[in-house]
Amino acid sequence: MYPSGPWRGFWEQTVFGKQPMRQLTLRFQGGRIDGDGVDVIGRFTFTGSYDDAGSVAMVKQYAGLHQVLYRGAYDGEGSILGRWSIGEYWSGPFALAPIHGEALGDVLVEAADVDEPVLLEAVVER
């Protein structure tokens, strides 16, 4: 259901606002999930499980710091949407989506009827 490889995502909290997860890699196999990445708090790992309906439960472990529980579900389009929590009092939304292409950077594109060239980000499917 979910592809292993590079993913993008964010979590949101009142104090920190919307925070992206960078260098995020998730691996899915036989109902188990593992992965790693980095965000504003620091480097982390993910471990957890998923089922055939797309429900996900993961623990995010920050290196040398605290754990965060992530519970989410398949959104029907390949992404995982849900809520993270630390105990009973801290929680917020999160979203994760697979990256299906590799960004190559800015590419100069000459557009018809435009006085100046336009920069677009090129993406190549793997």
**Which tens digits make up the pLDDT trace of 8-66?**
999 999 888 999 999 999 999 999 999 999 999 999 999 999 999 999 999 999 999 99
Which domains, ranges and CATH numbers included, belong to the chain?
5-100 (2.40.128.120)
Structure letter (DSSP) for residue 2:
-
The rounded distance, in Å, linking the Cα atoms of 47 and 28 is 10
Structure letter (DSSP) for residue 77:
S
Q: At which residue do the structure tokens 């188990």 appear?
A: 32
Q: What is the pTM of this model?
A: 0.78
